């Protein structure tokens, strides 16, 4: 069924609903899930033409699949990037980016306190192939500058950071990368294109774990890279060969997730702001990390660089015996009854976790200290339940600290 041409210059919310629609003969309104491993050809000549690349079209779902392509088009449009390649997970996207685009002897400068598995990738696997990484504090531009070498190929940053929600000035970092002939990669998992547009600030590549907010309901694992066409051709070639392709079913879930992403991100931000403001005044809560709070050191940067402060916050606790340790944090967490005790985030369901013993459990103590992952730190990824119910549950945690 032919489709009327869409109007030009649509806004992000509209792009998330109207890009990559998949018209069918039957006129299905919702995008179709092409749950198929391979595609059939009219005749032998068509098969040959597809395989040789003389004729575009689908062959096999490890290479391309219409539902996966619809997701890629929609996410690329929302990010304002040229092209997107989807992967089986966020880690597959990060691994593919480095493996496909780098040579032995090249170097990465990366912010400290990024997603823990990315650190394992640097230390255990990339190193083995002759790629070295230097870790720096993400907010300290001087450290980034000093870490750059002639062989530096990429700067890699996750902003805001997990779990302390520190920010990095993306434009300044992109300028620094370009000054030295390097490129900037932004892991935009925490903000999504709804709250932050790294390309508008000069980033070269954007990476996502679709598992988090893009899905939004904790169902599927997936990832994506967005960037210029030629670079994405390289990544797609790598994907076709190494096989970490996104399942069409997962792509369909993410595709539909993008339609509600703007609404959800704004609600996550409102609910997190409410909880952060309330936590600040609670006995036994010593410090709240949330960029929406005016005393956050990068509150101003967050206001200009982001369109919202996001759904993740963290805080330090101390019990009435004066203990500011793991026991106090666990006491708080174990007293909750509504929120889920799990390390995942980006879900409609609020989650609570103790970073020092879960997400950052394998990080050596010295590195934990440098990254500010204290034993009495609790992280909450605020969901979409009624904020009053979330607050009431957190009050159980506060009460468990035993202050009068
Ligand atoms: C979860 C996460 C990843 C890894 O994604 P997977 O889909 O679990 O492989 C990468 N970066 C960030 C910031 C994440 O939160």
DSSP string, 251-316: HHHHHHHHHHHHHHHHHHHHHHHHHHHHHTTSTTEEEEE-TTSTTSTTHHHHHHH-SS--SEEEEE
Q: What are the chain's domains?
A: 7-257 (3.40.640.10), 261-400 (3.90.1150.10)
Ligand 1 atom 5: residue of nearest CA: 90
Q: Do you know the residue count of the chain?
A: 404
What whole-number percentage of the chain has pLDDT above 70? Answer: 99
Longest CA span, the chain: 81
* Any atom of ligand 1 within 6 Å of the Cβ of 89: yes
Helices and strands in the chain, H and E counts: 14, 12
Mutation test of ligand 1: which of 89, 111, 112, 115 has the most ligand atoms closer than 8 Å to its C-beta? 115
pLDDT at residue 234 tops 90: yes
CA 180 to chain centroid, in Å, comes to 26
Cα separation of 210 and 187, whole Å?
11
pLDDT at residue 218 tops 50: yes
Strand, helix or coil for residue 362: coil
Strand, helix or coil for residue 220: coil
pLDDT in tens, 160-207: 999 999 999 999 999 999 999 999 999 999 999 999 999 999 999 999
What whole-number percentage of the chain has pLDDT above 90? Answer: 91
pLDDT at residue 1, rounded to an integer: 45
Cα separation of 345 and 211, whole Å?
9
* Any atom of ligand 1 within 6 Å of the Cβ of 379: no
pLDDT at residue 116, rounded to an integer: 84
Asked if residue 39 lies in contact with residue 66, where contact means CB atoms within 8 angstroms, the answer is no
Q: How confident is the model at residue 3 (pLDDT cuts 50, 70, 90)?
A: low
Mutation test of ligand 1: which of 93, 164, 189 has the most ligand atoms closer than 8 Å to its C-beta? 189
Q: How confident is the model at residue 114 (pLDDT cuts 50, 70, 90)?
A: confident
pLDDT at residue 82, rounded to an integer: 97
Q: What is the mean pLDDT of the chain?
A: 96
Of 100, 98, 80, 99, nearest to 226 by C-alpha is: 80
Q: Provide the strand spans (E) within 147-259.
A: 152-158, 183-187, 205-209, 223-227
pLDDT at residue 8 tops 80: no
Ligand 1 atom 7: residue of nearest CA: 90
pLDDT at residue 106 tops 60: yes
pLDDT in tens, 324-334: 999 999 999 99
H/E run at residue 380? strand 377-381
Mutation test of ligand 1: which of 86, 87, 88, 91 has the most ligand atoms closer than 8 Å to its C-beta? 91
Tell me the average pLDDT across 61-85: 97
Q: Cα of 93 to ligand 1 centre, how many Å?
A: 9
* Any atom of ligand 1 within 6 Å of the Cβ of 115: yes
pLDDT in tens, 123-160: 999 999 999 999 999 999 999 999 999 999 999 999 99
pLDDT in tens, 255-265: 999 999 999 99
Tell me the average pLDDT across 360-382: 90
Tell me the average pLDDT across 76-98: 98
Ligand 1 atom 8: residue of nearest CA: 90
The CA-based dihedral angle spanning residues 368, 374, 378, 380, taken in that order and rounded to the nearest 10 degrees: -40
pLDDT at residue 238 tops 90: yes
Asked if residue 341 lies in contact with residue 404, where contact means CB atoms within 8 angstroms, the answer is no
Q: Cα of 209 to ligand 1 centre, how many Å?
A: 5
Asked if residue 280 lies in contact with residue 293, where contact means CB atoms within 8 angstroms, the answer is yes
pLDDT in tens, 207-216: 999 999 999 9
Asked if residue 81 lies in contact with residue 227, where contact means CB atoms within 8 angstroms, the answer is yes
pLDDT at residue 404, rounded to an integer: 80
Phi, psi angles (nearest 5°) of residue 403: -75, 150
pLDDT at residue 37, rounded to an integer: 97
pLDDT at residue 9, rounded to an integer: 86
Of 64, 20, 54, nearest to 239 by C-alpha is: 64
pTM of the predicted protein model: 0.95
Asked if residue 167 lies in contact with residue 139, where contact means CB atoms within 8 angstroms, the answer is yes
């Amino acid at each position: 069924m032919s489709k009327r041409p869409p109007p030009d210059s649509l806004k992000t919310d509209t792009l998330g609903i109207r890009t990559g629609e998949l018209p069918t003969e039957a006129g299905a309104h919702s995008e179709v899930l092409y749950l198929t491993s391979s595609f059939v050809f009219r005749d032998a000549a068509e098969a040959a033409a597809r395989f040789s690349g003389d004729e575009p079209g689908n062959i096999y779902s490890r290479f391309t699949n219409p539902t996966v392509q619809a997701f890629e088009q929609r996410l690329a449009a929302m990010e304002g990037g040229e092209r997107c390649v989807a992967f089986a997970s966020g880690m597959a996207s990060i691994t593919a980016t480095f493996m496909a685009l780098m040579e032995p002897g090249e170097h990465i400068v990366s912010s400290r306190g990024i997603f823990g598995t990315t650190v394992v990738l640097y230390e255990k696997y990339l190193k083995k192939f002759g790629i070295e990484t230097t870790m720096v504090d993400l907010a300290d531009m001087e450290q980034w500058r000093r870490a750059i070498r002639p062989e530096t190929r990429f700067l890699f940053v996750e902003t805001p950071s997990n779990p302390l929600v520190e920010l990095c000035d993306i434009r300044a970092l992109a300028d620094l990368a370009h000054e030295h002939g390097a490129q900037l990669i932004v892991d935009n998992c925490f903000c999504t294109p709804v709250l932050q547009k790294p390309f508008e600030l000069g980033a070269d590549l954007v990476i996502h774990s679709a598992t988090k907010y893009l899905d939004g309901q904790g169902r599927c694992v997936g990832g994506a890279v967005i960037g210029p066409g030629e670079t994405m051709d390289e990544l797609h070639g790598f994907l076709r060969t190494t096989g970490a392709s996104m399942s069409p079913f997962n792509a369909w879930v993410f595709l539909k997730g993008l339609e509600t992403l703007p609404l959800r991100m704004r609600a996550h931000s409102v609910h997190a702001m409410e909880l952060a403001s309330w936590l600040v005044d609670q006995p036994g809560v010593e410090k709240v990390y949330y960029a929406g709070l005016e005393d956050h050191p990068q509150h101003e940067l967050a206001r200009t660089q982001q369109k919202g402060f996001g759904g993740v916050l963290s805080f330090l606790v101390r019990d009435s015996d004066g203990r500011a340790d793991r026991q106090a944090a666990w006491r708080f967490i174990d007293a909750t009854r509504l929120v889920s005790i799990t390390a995942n985030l980006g879900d409609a369901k609020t989650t609570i976790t103790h970073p020092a013993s879960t997400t950052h459990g394998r990080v050596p103590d010295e590195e934990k200290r440098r990254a500010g992952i204290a034993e009495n730190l609790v992280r909450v990824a605020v969901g979409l339940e009624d904020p009053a119910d979330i607050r009431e549950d957190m009050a159980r945690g506060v009460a468990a600290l035993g202050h009068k």
